[in-house]
Amino acid sequence: MKPKDFLHWSVLVPIISSVFYLAGFLTNTVFANITGAVLLFATVLAAVHHAEVVAHKVGEPFGTIILAICITVLEVGLIISFMLSGGEGAMTYARDTIFAAVMIILNGILGICIWVGSRKYKEQFFITNSATTYLVSLVAILVLTLILPNYTSSIRGPFYTEPQLIFVSLACLVIYGSFLMLQTVRHRNYFIVAEEDNAAHEADPPSNAKMFISLLLLIICLAAVIFMAKGLSPVIEGFVENIGAPRALVGVIIASVVLLPEGLAAIRAAQNNQIQSSINLGLGSALASVGLTIPAVSVVCIIYDIPFVLGLDMKSIILLALSVFIVMLSLSRGKTNHLYGTVLLVNLAAYIFTVIVP
C-alpha cells in the first residue's frame, strides 16, 4: 500500500475506535455514548470496505465465506461475553440473538436486497441450485437446534442434556463442513454467475499486500465492533427497559449491529445487479450463524456449566416457519421480483412488532 493509503478513513476508523475503547473513554456519559455509537457505525462501514477488498481478491464464493465466518466470530464473541458476565437473561441470550440474526437475515437482508434489486432491474437472476443447497442445510440445523429441544424428554423444558448438546453440535459441524466442501470444491459453479465477471471485476484485483492488510484491518474492525457493542450494551438495555419492551429486544438490536457489515455488502451487491452475491452473503451468514455459533457456545456452556436455553416458544416457531417457507418460495424460480421482497419485509416487521408487543 502507498503511504497515503494508511491515512484512508477505513484504516483510521478502526484504530481510533480501538484506542477509544482501550483507553477507557467509553464511559457512562451522554457524550461518550454518542461518540461510541458514531465510531461503532463507522467501524462497521470500514469492515464492509475491507471485506469487499478481500472478496475482490479471492473471488467467489470464497469472499462471501470469509465475510460470513468473520460475522459469526463477531456474534460468538458477543454472545459468550454476555453469557459469562451472567445476569438476568443470560440463559436465553444466545437463543434470542441467534434467532434474531436468522430472522433479520432471511426477512430483512434478503428482503431489502430482492426489493432494491427488483425495483432497479425489475428481475434479477440467480442459480436455484445455490439457494436449494443453502436452505436444505439451514432448515436441518434450525430444526435440530431451535425446535427439537422442546420435544426431547430427557430433561424438562427447552434444554438439551450434555450428551444431546454434544451430538447436535457435531451434527451442525458435519452439515456446515459438508456444505463448505460442496460450495468450494465439488459444485463451486452453483454459486458463481457470469454477471459477476462483468460487474464485480471491472477493476483490477488488489495486490497481495493490500489484501492481507485489509484482512488484518477487517479482523481489527470486527474486534472493535464486539468491544464497542459490549461497552454500549448497558445503554441499549436501559433503553429497552425504559420503553417497557421485553429483554429479547436487546438480542434483536445486538444482532442488527453484528449483521450491519454483511447487510450493507449484500445490499450494495444487489444494487450492482449481483443478486447471486447477495444470496451467498445472506444465506451463507445465516447458515454460519447457527451452524458455527451453536457448537462454539455449547463448548463454553459445557466447560463453565452454564444453563443454555435453545428451544423457541410456539410464536417464534410459527414466525420462523413462515419466514423459511416464504424464502423457499421466493428463491424457487431462479429470478426475483419486488413482491417477494415486500412480503419478506412485512414478515420482518411482524417479527419485530411481536418482540416489542408479545
CA separation for the pair 157, 319 (Å, rounded):
20
pLDDT digits (tens, 9 = 90+) for 60-102: 667 777 777 777 777 777 777 777 765 566 778 888 888 999 9
CA separation for the pair 150, 1 (Å, rounded):
53
**pLDDT band at residue 5, thresholds of 50, 70 and 90?**
low
pLDDT digits (tens, 9 = 90+) for 126-149: 888 889 999 999 999 999 999 999
168, 160 Cβ separation under 8 angstroms: yes
147, 317 Cβ separation under 8 angstroms: yes
Is residue 241 assigned to a domain?
yes
Is residue 142 assigned to a domain?
yes
In this prediction, residue 195 carries a pLDDT of 46
Q: What is the CA radius of gyration of the chain?
A: 20
Is residue 74 assigned to a domain?
yes
Region of residue 152 (left: phi > 0; alpha: psi -120 to 50; beta: else): beta
Percentage of the chain with pLDDT > 90?
28
199, 273 Cβ separation under 8 angstroms: yes
Domain span at residue 342 reads 65-199+232-356
Domain count across the chain: 1
- Kindly report the number of other CB atoms within 10 A of residue 348's CB atom: 21
Work out the average pLDDT over 174-183. 90
In this prediction, residue 316 carries a pLDDT of 94
User: 263: domain CATH number?
Assistant: 1.20.1420.30
Instruction: Give Cβ neighbours of residue 152 (< 8 Å, ≥ 6 apart).
Output: 160, 161, 164
152, 310 Cβ separation under 8 angstroms: no
pLDDT digits (tens, 9 = 90+) for 271-316: 989 898 889 888 988 888 888 889 988 988 888 888 788 999 999 9
Is residue 12 assigned to a domain?
no
Is residue 215 assigned to a domain?
no
Residue 61, preceding peptide bond in cis (omega within 30° of 0): yes
Is residue 218 assigned to a domain?
no
pTM: 0.84
Is residue 320 assigned to a domain?
yes
Is residue 98 assigned to a domain?
yes
- Kindly report the number of other CB atoms within 10 A of residue 93's CB atom: 25
In this prediction, residue 201 carries a pLDDT of 46
